[in-house]
């Protein structure tokens, strides 16, 4: 008897975008579990940092990355994926809340300094000076599963953006008040039992950055996992298919891959550190060296990451061909918006103004802007899917970061428009989600299904739609910061 296709699958396939080499495997509806009323941002920050009073935020260490709502503590494990400290996430939360809760930045950088890499250890992807990506207890069930399936050891260091973000956060904390610079002399015990100071941690993080740049012929800070099953994209958009070319071809992970926002964060980290060495640490020679290195990075960014295509924009990143030559990943993504928060395009230089206004034009185009904010991937790109983790959804912290960049460069009307959209998401969804759909619906909404497809070229199952975590720390921090900026206490 002829096997008939499931009519529901056929119906969904007609409206779900598939590439020629993809096959739909399953679509599963997920029940909505949102609370009856909108939760409090401050309440959730306290839960994420393990305290019960706002004045204690930071006293028990960094924020964990996410939580389920209190009413959903018995929810499936898919809503409890990131209930631990992630270096990148905790630093982003700390820097967003720095003006309001500075002790959180102090506690976060101190805890990450204690975990800072001290040696080369392949199964952890540990390197001297590298800041941890994921600090799980080895006996955590998720850690046990990851070790069994992927061979990871703990803590796991597979990110390249946490280290420059650590430098930026530590420097910003020290520069907040003159008294804060004494924190650099704070002692702690590192992961090998040796006593160090926060100034040591700063120097070791900078040394890691310098080593990475010196080992690259073009001066690009690239990533390439040393593990067979390590994180392929060691940046915030860490989905395996997030880094690709305009025709949809996945970036070549056999060689180094890079991302634009990592370059500008590194540029800023070098400049920020140079200012600290010049002033608080009274080391003009080191300051001069860091300023020179930052200027080299500026030239590298402009050479390898800018394109004049489509009116000009910063590409997602780079990869390399089989001969090792650098190639642009020339797709339009929200990552270009991170340049606006950098010092890279500051000032009245006509070329800087042209570039930042071209970037803003792209970010506010119909292909990139929807009712919720800036899409992670433009809707006219080959791999765009509105519910995809990093290929079309709108991440609230990402849009908040872009809005802050617009504001600091004087584009306050655009910044306020984006902030209003973020607040509207919270009002509508009654959650602090990782992300919302990047579709063209008139109202923000959260994914309520899980969609798996088979990529027959790469022989991988690709989960191209799934519900977000309910309370994502950097989402909460973005909303709290937005409200506090508008209504100071």
Mean pLDDT by 10 residues, the chain (489 residues): 39 65 95 81 97 97 94 70 96 98 98 98 98 96 96 98 98 97 98 98 98 98 97 98 98 98 98 98 98 98 98 98 98 98 97 98 98 98 97 98 98 98 96 97 96 96 95 98 86
> 88 CB contacts (<8 Å, ≥6 apart)?
133, 159, 161, 162, 165, 236
DSSP letter for 139, please: T
Is residue 437 domain-resident? no
The total of other beta-carbon atoms located within 10 Å of residue 144's CB is 14
Is residue 97 domain-resident? yes
Is residue 199 domain-resident? yes
CB neighbour class for 85 (10 Å; exposed up to 12, middle 13-18, buried from 19): buried
Q: pTM of this prediction? A: 0.95
Is residue 250 domain-resident? no
> Total structural domains in the chain?
1
pLDDT for 436: 98
Is residue 288 domain-resident? no
CA distance 14 to 301: 41
Is residue 470 domain-resident? no
Is residue 93 domain-resident? yes
3-state secondary structure of 218: coil
318: which strand partners? 258, 328
- CB distance 480 to 45 below 8 Å: yes
Is residue 31 domain-resident? no
CA distance 68 to 81: 9
Q: Report DSSP letters for 233-272, one per residue.
A: S-SSS--TTSSB-TTSPBP-TTS-BEEHHHHHHHHHHHHH
pLDDT for 79: 78
| Relative orientation angle of helices 198-214 and 102-115, to the nearest 10 degrees | 60
Write out the residue range of the structural domain in which residue 189 sits: 83-215
């Amino acid at each position: 008897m002829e096997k008939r296709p499931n009519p529901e699958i056929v119906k969904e396939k007609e409206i779900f975008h598939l590439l020629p080499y993809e096959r739909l495997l399953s679509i599963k509806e997920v029940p909505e579990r949102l609370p009856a009323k909108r939760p409090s941002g401050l309440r959730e920050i306290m839960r994420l940092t393990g305290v019960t009073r706002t004045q204690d935020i930071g006293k028990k260490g960094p924020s964990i990355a996410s939580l389920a709502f209190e009413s959903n503590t018995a929810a499936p494990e898919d809503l409890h994926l990131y209930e631990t400290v992630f270096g990148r996430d905790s630093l982003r939360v700390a820097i967003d809340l720095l003006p309001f809760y500075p002790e959180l930045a102090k506690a976060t950088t101190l805890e990450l300094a204690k975990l800072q890499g001290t040696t080369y250890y392949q199964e952890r992807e540990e390197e001297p000076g590298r800041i941890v990506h994921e600090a799980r207890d080895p006996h955590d069930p998720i850690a046990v599963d990851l070790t069994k399936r992927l061979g990871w050891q703990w803590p796991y260091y597979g990110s390249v953006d946490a280290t420059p973000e650590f430098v930026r956060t530590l420097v910003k904390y020290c520069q907040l008040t003159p008294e804060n610079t004494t924190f650099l002399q704070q002692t702690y015990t590192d992961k090998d039992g040796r006593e160090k100071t926060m100034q040591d941690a700063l120097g070791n993080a900078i040394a890691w950055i310098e080593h990475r740049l010196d080992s690259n012929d073009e001066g690009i800070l690239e990533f390439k996992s040393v593990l067979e099953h390590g994180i392929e994209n060691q940046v915030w958009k860490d989905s395996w298919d997030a880094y690709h070319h305009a025709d949809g071809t996945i970036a070549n992970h056999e060689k180094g891959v890079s991302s634009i926002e990592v370059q500008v964060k590194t540029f800023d980290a070098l400049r920020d550190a140079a200012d600290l060495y010049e002033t608080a640490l009274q080391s003009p020679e080191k300051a001069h060296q860091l300023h020179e290195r930052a200027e080299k990075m500026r030239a590298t960014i402009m050479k390898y990451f800018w394109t004049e295509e489509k009116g000009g924009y910063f590409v997602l990143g780079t990869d390399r061909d089989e001969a090792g030559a650098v190639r642009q990943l020339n797709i339009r993504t929200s990552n270009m918006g991170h340049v606006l928060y950098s010092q890279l395009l500051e000032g009245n230089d006509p070329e800087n103004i042209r570039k930042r206004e071209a970037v803003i034009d792209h970010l506010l185009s119909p292909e990139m802007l929807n009712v919720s904010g800036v899409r992670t991937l433009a809707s006219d790109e080959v791999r765009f899917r509105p519910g995809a983790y990093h290929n079309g959804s709108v991440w609230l912290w990402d849009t908040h970061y872009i809005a802050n960049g617009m504001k600091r460069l004087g584009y306050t009307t655009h910044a306020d428009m984006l902030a209003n959209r973020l607040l509207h998401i919270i009002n509508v969804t009654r959650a602090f989600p990782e992300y919302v759909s990047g579709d063209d619906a008139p109202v923000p909404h959260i994914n309520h299904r899980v969609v798996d497809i088979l990529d027959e070229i790469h022989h991988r199952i690709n989960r191209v739609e799934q519900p977000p975590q309910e309370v994502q720390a950097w989402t909460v921090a973005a909303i709290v910061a937005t409200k506090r900026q508008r209504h100071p206490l």
